[in-house]
Amino acid sequence: MKALEVQALSKNFGGLRAIRDISLEIEEGERRAIIGPNGAGKTTFFHLISGFLFPSSGHLSVFGTEVTHLQAHQRAALGMARTFQVTNLFQKLTLFENILLGVQAMKWARFCFYRRVTAFRDIVYETERLLKEWNLWEKKDTPLKNLSYGEQRQIEVIMALATKPRLLLLDEPTAGLSPAETILVTSIIKGLSREITTLLIEHDMDVAFDIAEKITVLHFGSILAEGSPDQIKGNPKVTEIYLG
Amino acid sequence: MSRARGIEKPMAFWIIQTLNGLSFSMMLFLVAAGFTLIFGLMKIINIAHGSFYLLSAYIGLTVLRATDNFLLATIASSIAVVLVGIAMQSLFLRRFYMKELQQVLLTFGFVLIIADVCLWIWGGNPMALPKPSLLRGSIWIGNVVFPSYRLFVIFVGVVIAVGLWIFQEKTKFGAIVRAGVDDEEMLRGSGINIQVVFVGVFGLGALLAGIGGMIGGPFVGVFPGVDVSMLLLALVVVIIGGVGSLRGAFVGSLFVGLVDNFGKALFPELSLFTLFAPMAIVLAIRPTGIFGKIEE
Amino acid sequence: MPFLFAVLILLLPFLFSNYYVGLATQIFIMAIFAMSLDILVGHTGLPSMGHAAYYGVAGYATGFLCLAGIKNFWLVVVLGMGLGGLAAAFFGLLALRARGPYFMLITLALSQVLWGIAFKWRSLTKGDDGLPGIGRPIIGWGIDLKPDLYFYYFTFAIFLIVVVALFIFLNSPFGCTLRGIRESESRMRALGYPVWFYKYVAFIFAGIFAGISGVLWVYYSGFVNPSYFAVDLSVKALLMLILGGSGSLFGPLIGAGIIVLLENLVSGFTERWSLVLGIVYVTVIMLFSEGIFSVFRRGRN
């Protein structure tokens, strides 16, 4: 079963054709990177996959289920998780509360309104476990806005992982990070289990080539080239769009 | 024909009621147009919008009693109301740009202030402005009598509506306002002094509501509480007609004015229901109003 | 500290005159109203402008039931709460399709229309005159709340129950979710939460709790009239949240205390109390829009 099947996907904004007739398939367990110059439509594509935008035409399937007309939260229930290019976390809540919301998201307990959340030991333990695993335990009571940009980018990824996804979409995870932080985040992604299919938008080509087994290059809303990192590196059409 | 208390309503009844409804609609349009522009451009719910009506009618009344000159009274009350509106926006509301909650609360503070000052100066008795002497008569069309004043109100309303349309479609300032209602970020990035635009629109809104107060003074009257009543009707107009749209304010005012008027004449107790139902229906089917813009 | 506060509340009638007991009663009822609004404003991020709608619906329900001869106090309370919730269920469907300022506009309009209906439908509501003559209830166990003292303690007891209930609600997984929605709706959707559903349920809960305060105020004051739906009340509740601090458990109580005391103080002072209050509100918002006590609370966070 394919983790993601995209068929003839298009998105128009008024007269602007942002995504033109894209088709692709991602296998389970695969690591795929989407690259392309600014304006190629990468983030729009992500919004279409994750349900933050609806396509003008075309179809999307996730693990065999047609999701074209499903809302974002319904797609998340099928095992999809995403991060955002601009850090999108709960700034006024503590780090603990942030992760807790991620942990609780896929559990029935999230609807309970008559018991305090601290009574749900499994949720609390899982949150604690995640924080300790990622060495963030000391900062658990810090309001998120007091954490550094690099830490927040890292937590973007952890938040997405908290829901135990099968398909993970990472929107420029290393955006704005220092070289040291980039190496850290890259190793986090590479260290993810193969049970998680990873789809990554990256502006930093070195990171993309490092993490991904297969690269899809977008240009003006369509696929210019697809192949292994070596194939893409050697593809003159690709180098042209970046240098030209 | 319809029956009320077993009496059949003659044709003249319907014609008069339609006329009354239309004149009420035009006055309402003046109030609602300003309200919708202020909300559409600045996202401010100006609870004090009815207060402009109130203040203008009272000031106009005083000037009218002193000079017996309707035009002069309108000019005086308009100036006063525009000054108040400009002060409100530039001294107070401006500080809370993009903080709609605080802005609304501020306008509420002004409602209390203006209402109490008016109560203090003019007392609590309901009053009606005297009509301009030229317009106190009636005109015969066919065998129906039309009060001249009501026709005058309709005329003024249409003229101002056309004027606003020209302003919005044909002038540079109007284009800026239209752009701002559509997409405020674009306006901010365009280099135009946005505060000047805001003050201008707020002042314009106050002016329109003020003129509405003068025009409506003779037949709606002025009394403590008319500010809240006008606000309520403006809210319904804007929700039905669409936010930020002058066309919507016009169509919405026609609808609300006629429905309210007929409602009052036929089922006075339930007249608000006849407004509530269409409002709820519009909200259910097309939440942005008939002419409002759709947000993704 | 809260213990000291509770003791003061219990001893109040013996330290101050009946007038202040009445004020304290008012403060507790208004605090419940403000807390119900804070579910939406402080915790979900929904700036609801027409909250008086549910208060008024419950108030009129109480009025009708009492004047129809229903003596069962708890039945009236349940019906009042239920109708408040029902009104919220209906209005929520209409208002929650909008965001931010437009949501505010719709909620305001809906409550204002209710005001207009209460005002105009004289045969049902007696219009502006309202429905007077509602007596204090007998709450069972032979306790008659006619004496202001008993009503005061009863109101305080209800207030405490509401505080506990809201504490649990707002710290439940559901409550935490609401705060997540307040911070970032898009993030919550991406995580898989059905955001609209949460907002809708929160809206209904807010209506139910507002209903409690509406019922209480009718029994306290003895009458109900269109002012229950007035925009004044909806806006005052927002002011209470701004002054006392929204998003906190006791902020609404502090805000209610400030507003109720202020209004009574000023109206005892001058005939132009409305003007003075307007000036005070404008001044306070200009100076303290982040909430007077948020400065103090930052230390405790």
C-chain CB neighbours of A93 within 8 Å are 179-180, 183
Residue B152: both structure tokens together? 């005058």
Q: What is the pLDDT of residue C298?
A: 39
Pinpoint the alpha helices (H) of chain C: 2-15, 18-38, 52-67, 73-95, 100-120, 122-125, 148-170, 173-183, 185-191, 195-221, 231-244, 251-269, 273-288, 294-300
B-chain CB neighbours of C47 within 8 Å are 100-101
> Which residues are registered as beta bridge partners of A25?
A5
DSSP A147-184: S-HHHHHHHHHHHHHHT--SEEEEESTTTT--HHHHHH
Interface touch A73/C193, C-beta < 8 Å = yes
Q: What is the pLDDT of residue B181?
A: 82
Give the B window 223-252 contacts with C, CB below 8 Å: 228-229, 231-232, 235-236, 238-239, 243
Q: If pLDDT is split at 50, 70 and 90, which confidence band does B186 have?
A: confident
Q: For residue C136, what are the domain limits?
A: 18-231
Kindly state the average pLDDT of the residues A183-190: 90
Q: What CA–CA distance (Å, rounded) separates C184 from C197?
A: 15
Whether C8 maps to a domain, the answer reads no
Q: What CA–CA distance (Å, rounded) separates C40 from B201?
A: 31
Q: What is the pLDDT of residue C9?
A: 85
Residue to substitute from C57, C91, C102, C240, interface B, most B β-carbons within 10 A: C102
**Is B87 an 8 Å CB contact of chain C?**
no
**Is C161 an 8 Å CB contact of chain A?**
no
Place of tokens 């710290």: C171
Q: What is the pLDDT of residue A234?
A: 87
Interface touch B268/C120, C-beta < 8 Å = yes
Q: What is the pLDDT of residue C301?
A: 35
Q: What is the pLDDT of residue C109?
A: 94
DSSP state of B131: P
Instruction: Look at residue B9 and tell me whether its pLDDT is greater than 70.
Output: no
Interface touch C278/B110, C-beta < 8 Å = yes
Whether A171 maps to a domain, the answer reads yes
Residue to substitute from C166, C176, C197, C203, interface A, most A β-carbons within 10 A: C176
Residue in C with minimal Cα distance to A79: C192
Q: How far apart are the first and last CA of chain C?
A: 16
Interface touch B243/C282, C-beta < 8 Å = no
Q: What is the pLDDT of residue C294?
A: 44
Q: For residue A18, what are the domain limits?
A: 2-84+165-243
Quote the minimal CA–CA distance from C290 to chain B in Å.
10
Q: pTM here?
A: 0.92
Q: What CA–CA distance (Å, rounded) separates B174 from B159?
A: 17
Please count the other Cβ atoms lying within 10 Å of the Cβ belonging to residue A135: 9
Q: What is the pLDDT of residue B5?
A: 53
A-chain CB neighbours of C189 within 8 Å are 51-52, 71-73, 76
**From C117, C123, C242, residue closest to B276, measured CB to CB:** C117
Query: How far is C-alpha B194 from the geometric centre of its chain's CA atoms?
Result: 24
Q: Strand A167-171 to strand A80-82: parallel, antiparallel, or no bridges (unpaired)?
A: parallel
- Amino acid identity for residue C249 in this structure: L
Whether A235 maps to a domain, the answer reads yes
Residue to substitute from A49, A107, A108, A111, interface C, most C β-carbons within 10 A: A111
Half-sphere exposure of C49 (CA within 13 A, CB side): 28
Half-sphere exposure of B196 (CA within 13 A, CB side): 5
Residue C59 backbone zone (phi > 0: left; psi -120 to 50: alpha; other: beta): alpha
Interface touch C105/B243, C-beta < 8 Å = yes
Q: What is the pLDDT of residue B296?
A: 38
Residue A226 main-chain phi, psi, to 5 deg: -145, 135
Interface touch B111/C278, C-beta < 8 Å = yes
Whether A57 maps to a domain, the answer reads yes
Per residue of chain C (301 residues), what is the pLDDT tens digit? 778 888 888 888 888 888 899 999 999 999 999 999 999 999 999 999 999 999 999 999 999 999 888 888 999 999 999 999 999 999 999 999 888 899 999 999 999 999 999 998 888 888 888 888 888 888 877 788 888 889 999 999 999 999 999 999 999 999 999 999 999 999 999 999 999 999 999 999 999 999 999 999 999 999 999 999 999 999 999 999 988 888 888 999 999 999 999 999 999 889 899 999 999 999 988 887 654 444 334 333 3
DSSP state of B132: P
B247-281 pLDDT, tens digit per residue, is 999 999 999 999 988 888 888 878 788 888 899 99
In CATH, what number is assigned to the domain containing residue A184?
A: 3.40.50.300
Sequence-distant (≥ 6) Cβ neighbours of residue B191 within 8 angstroms: none
Number of domains in chain A: 1
Q: What CA–CA distance (Å, rounded) separates B205 from B187?
A: 19
Place of tokens 């060495």: A135
Residue B192: both structure tokens together? 């135009």
CA dist list (Å): B133 to B121, B159, B210, C290: 26, 21, 21, 54
Interface touch C173/A73, C-beta < 8 Å = no
Residue in B with minimal Cα distance to C128: B225
CA dist list (Å): A22 to A72, A208, A233: 20, 20, 22
Residue B82: both structure tokens together? 């525009």
DSSP state of C29: H
Mean pLDDT, chain A, rounded, equals: 92
Quote the minimal CA–CA distance from C123 to chain A in Å.
41
Q: What is the pLDDT of residue C241?
A: 92
**From A50, A92, A110, residue closest to C173, measured CB to CB:** A110
Residue A229: both structure tokens together? 């990192």
A-chain CB neighbours of C174 within 8 Å are 110-113
**Is B73 an 8 Å CB contact of chain C?**
no
Interface touch C177/A101, C-beta < 8 Å = yes
Interface touch A52/C186, C-beta < 8 Å = yes
Q: A27: helix, coil or strand?
A: strand
Helices vs strands, H then E, count in chain B: 11, 4
C-chain CB neighbours of B104 within 8 Å are 49, 104, 235, 238
B138-171 pLDDT, tens digit per residue, is 888 777 788 889 899 999 999 999 999 999 888 8
Query: How far is C-alpha C187 from the geometric centre of its chain's CA atoms?
Result: 30
Whether A224 maps to a domain, the answer reads yes
Q: If pLDDT is split at 50, 70 and 90, which confidence band does B72 have?
A: very high
Mean pLDDT, chain B, rounded, equals: 88
How many Cβ pairs within 8 Å bridge chains B and C?
Answer: 134
Q: What CA–CA distance (Å, rounded) separates B81 from C2?
A: 50
Instruction: Look at residue A227 and tell me whether its pLDDT is greater than 60.
Output: yes
Better-scored residue on pLDDT, C191 or A176 = C191
**From C172, C177, C188, residue closest to A114, measured CB to CB:** C172
DSSP state of C42: I
Please count the other Cβ atoms lying within 10 Å of the Cβ belonging to residue B144: 16
- Amino acid identity for residue B245 in this structure: S
Pinpoint the alpha helices (H) of C136-250: 148-170, 173-183, 185-191, 195-221, 231-244
Are C66 and C134 in contact, with CB atoms under 8 Å apart? yes
Whether A153 maps to a domain, the answer reads no
- Tell me the ipTM for this assembly: 0.93
Q: What is the pLDDT of residue B295?
A: 52
Residue C174: both structure tokens together? 């559901």
Instruction: Look at residue B6 and tell me whether its pLDDT is greater than 70.
Output: no
Quote the minimal CA–CA distance from C217 to chain A in Å.
27
Q: What CA–CA distance (Å, rounded) separates C235 from C33?
A: 12
Interface touch C188/A101, C-beta < 8 Å = yes
| Nearest partner of C280 among C228, C231, C236, judged by Cα | C236
Q: What is the pLDDT of residue B142?
A: 74
Number of domains in chain C: 1
Write the burial class of residue B151 (CB in 10 Å: 0-12 exposed, 13-18 middle, 19+ buried): middle
| Nearest partner of B53 among B7, B115, B143, judged by Cα | B115
B130-140 pLDDT, tens digit per residue, is 888 888 888 88
Whether A154 maps to a domain, the answer reads no
